[in-house]
Amino acid sequence: MAKKVSVIGNDLVLNEKIIKALGSDYLIKFFKYEENLVEKLSDFEPDLIMIDIISLSGDYINLIDGINHSLLANKKVLVISQSKKIDNIIGSSPKIRNYITKPIDFDNLKRVIEEIITDKSKYIVVADDDSEFLDLMRIFFESNGYKAKYVSDSRKVIDTVKSVNPSLILLDLVMPYKDGFEIISEMMEDDNLKNIPIVVISAVEFNKFITKGGASGYPEYISRDLSVDMIKEIVDNILNYGYVEEIEKTKVLVADDQIELVILMKEFLEKNGFVVFTAMDGKEAIEKIYEFVPDVVVLDYDMPFKSGIEVSSEIKKNPVYSHIPIIIVTAKGDKETKIKGLLMGIDDYITKPVDNDELVARIRMIVKRNRQVLDSNPLSKLPGNPSIQARIEKAIERKEKFAVLYIDLNNFKAYNDVYGFECGDNVIKTLAKILVEIVMPNTSGSDFIGHIGGDDFIVITHPDKAEDIAKKIINNFNQIVPSFYNKEDRERGYIVAKDRLGNELKFPLLGVAIGIVHNLYRTITSYAQVSHIGSELKKACKANPHSSYLIDRRKD
């Protein structure tokens, strides 16, 4: 019986190539993105799922997450990503001014537009086939005083641009009839259009994911530009020879500038059941860590661009990745070097020449220990309560000046009840991303983000920065809030849901409540005291149905 292959995507040319490559040997079924897609895939029972993340009109990350939490969890997945057309966006000479990922960070969008546009009397052209997204953009532009033309039919984009001569084009890459890549190419060939600034809008974060298909967590990817024969060979390898590693296997990054050593370590680790990524210098190691989020990292002490110690320092300062265990491989056996690393949070040292059996044993021990003690929230990947408490108690013990922002969402229960837990989880993940984007660029090495649970978060910073951070969180969150609702709820500005007593009430749109605790005016002696004050302030904020913050100004 022929093995089954599901192909998810909207690119007809690519689909024809896949038919030509696989059609005689495999049973192929094509799917478009829709709400019950995982259920339809389950009914088909494919042996391999191919996902084209460029043409996919929808949230491919949530789709892959849905696959991982369904009956399809053990199926092989192949990501189709890279295209030569991407050079127009992130190549050595990109043809566009910027790109912005969906869901839109409106604070970032506003900054990008202000950097490009100085004359608000000229039009902005927004091209996207998603009518709800266009409605959201109308709200944004009208509230910020910009004139805009909205185009949902990709075939009309060039004519619209010619007719209004806009100051900027916001262009979705994936649209029926004509994609954004084709529109960019046409504009570049027209002397009257090629200098109009373009900002691409896409669900794909190109710098992180496009060249490796890494958004899925799967290292297996193929280029959209591969030949028919190569596609056939790759799929044959996956389905007939087990080419793809199982996703539950431990992911290890090995970084060393000695290529022979890297090859030997990679081969040995793979034979022992690990999924292995490699890097040849410190800069590449950091990129791979952000890209693939390995379960453990093995770093050479001395590498070009950044040493193993420097890589470790950067990773440990980032709250999203600080939980990853790090093993340093070094020819230096002196006590001072090891103590320095251990004080930075490095988990283990191995001295060269490397004993591969010892390396495997140490990796397994560290990963097992890390999974047992790791308190990061599974939804946001941010540190949880034990880390939060330890960080605050450490600041108190050192008599540091600090501020703690207690962050909570207004009307979240009502939103969860109406829209469901999946949408609620998306709100929480978006808020976590906003916090990281706002706090991390300001980090001095002492700032910290934690996830208490549910819709409750913590930011620890210096009192001088606390109020500015709170304002940015509120501004950023308020601009994205409309995207969490359907058109009807957005327009009326509330949803109807039942309260805890079962009474049907009107609930305003989501807001952020932030209580700021600090020790500028009075001494704080315990974590419990911080928690108590924070709860008081947050409760007072939540009396306001809209986003607000309250800073503790009491002196006793």
Instruction: Please identify which residue in the block is written with the tokens 């501004």.
Output: 475
Candidate from 183-197, 245-259, 334-348, 533-547 with smallest mean pLDDT = 334-348
- The rounded distance, in Å, linking the Cα atoms of 59 and 201 is 13
Q: Residues of 50-64 as b/e, b for ≥16 C-beta within 10 angstroms? A: bbbbbbbbbebbebb
Shared domain for 391 and 535, answered yes or no, is: yes
Q: What is the dihedral of CA 351, 355, 356, 359, to 10 degrees?
A: -40
Candidate from 30-44, 119-133, 317-331, 372-386 with smallest mean pLDDT = 372-386
What is the CATH classification number for the domain harbouring 523? 3.30.70.270
> CA 170, 171, 173 angle in degrees (round to 5)?
155
Q: What is the pLDDT of residue 208?
A: 40
pLDDT band at 55 (very low <50, low <70, confident <90, very high): low
pLDDT band at 515 (very low <50, low <70, confident <90, very high): very high
Q: What is the pLDDT of residue 376?
A: 65
Question: Does residue 412 sit within a domain?
Answer: yes
pLDDT score of 83 more than 80: no
Its domain, for residue 195, covers 85-207
- The rounded distance, in Å, linking the Cα atoms of 171 and 95 is 13
pLDDT, tens only, 531-551: 899 988 988 988 888 899 999
Shared domain for 451 and 369, answered yes or no, is: no
Shared domain for 409 and 538, answered yes or no, is: yes
pLDDT score of 56 more than 70: no
Candidate from 92-101, 111-120, 393-402, 526-535 with smallest mean pLDDT = 92-101
pLDDT score of 194 more than 80: yes
pLDDT mean across residues, the chain: 81
Point out which residues pair with 516 in neighbouring strands: 405, 551
Averaged over 27-33, what is the pLDDT? Answer: 88
Q: What is the pLDDT of residue 4?
A: 92
Shared domain for 492 and 528, answered yes or no, is: yes
Q: What is the pLDDT of residue 334?
A: 55
Averaged over 342-366, what is the pLDDT? Answer: 78
Shared domain for 89 and 73, answered yes or no, is: no
Question: Does residue 90 sit within a domain?
Answer: yes
pLDDT score of 63 more than 90: no
Q: Are the beta carbons of 215 and 205 closer than 8 angstroms?
A: yes
Mean pLDDT: which of 43-57, 134-148, 366-380 is highest? 134-148
Tokens of 352: 């060269």
Candidate from 86-95, 310-319, 357-366, 532-541 with smallest mean pLDDT = 86-95
pLDDT band at 362 (very low <50, low <70, confident <90, very high): confident
How many Cα atoms are found within 13 Å in the side-chain-facing hemisphere of 190? Answer: 14
Question: Does residue 378 sit within a domain?
Answer: no
Shared domain for 135 and 232, answered yes or no, is: no
pLDDT band at 480 (very low <50, low <70, confident <90, very high): confident
What is the CATH classification number for the domain harbouring 67? 3.40.50.2300
Give the DSSP letter string of 483-531: GGS-HHHHHHTEEEEE-TTS-EEEEEPPEEEEEEEESSSS----HHHHH
Shared domain for 296 and 315, answered yes or no, is: yes
pLDDT band at 340 (very low <50, low <70, confident <90, very high): low
Q: What is the pLDDT of residue 173?
A: 76
pLDDT score of 244 more than 50: no
The radius of gyration of the chain from alpha carbons, rounded to an integer in Å, stands at: 25
Q: What is the pLDDT of residue 82?
A: 52
pLDDT score of 268 more than 80: yes
**Dihedral sign for Cα atoms in the order 254, 258, 262, 268:** negative
Shared domain for 143 and 28, answered yes or no, is: no
- The rounded distance, in Å, linking the Cα atoms of 533 and 214 is 42
Candidate from 36-40, 113-117, 321-325 with smallest mean pLDDT = 321-325
Q: What is the SS3 assignment for 52?
A: strand
Candidate from 43-47, 192-196, 217-221, 305-309 with smallest mean pLDDT = 217-221
pLDDT score of 165 more than 90: yes
Structural domains of the chain, count: 4
pLDDT score of 214 more than 70: no
| Cis bond upstream, residue 441 (ω within 30) | no
Question: Does residue 177 sit within a domain?
Answer: yes
Global pTM exceeds 0.85: no
Question: Does residue 427 sit within a domain?
Answer: yes
Orientation angle between helical segments 157-164 and 180-188, nearest 10 degrees: 40
Q: What is the pLDDT of residue 247?
A: 35
Question: Does residue 556 sit within a domain?
Answer: no
Q: What is the pLDDT of residue 153?
A: 92
pLDDT score of 456 more than 60: yes
pLDDT band at 219 (very low <50, low <70, confident <90, very high): very low
Tokens of 41: 């895939």
Shared domain for 364 and 392, answered yes or no, is: no
Q: What is the pLDDT of residue 323?
A: 77
- The rounded distance, in Å, linking the Cα atoms of 480 and 215 is 22
Q: Are the beta carbons of 54 and 174 closer than 8 angstroms?
A: yes
Point out which residues pair with 253 in neighbouring strands: 277, 297
Shared domain for 500 and 420, answered yes or no, is: yes
Q: What is the pLDDT of residue 335?
A: 59
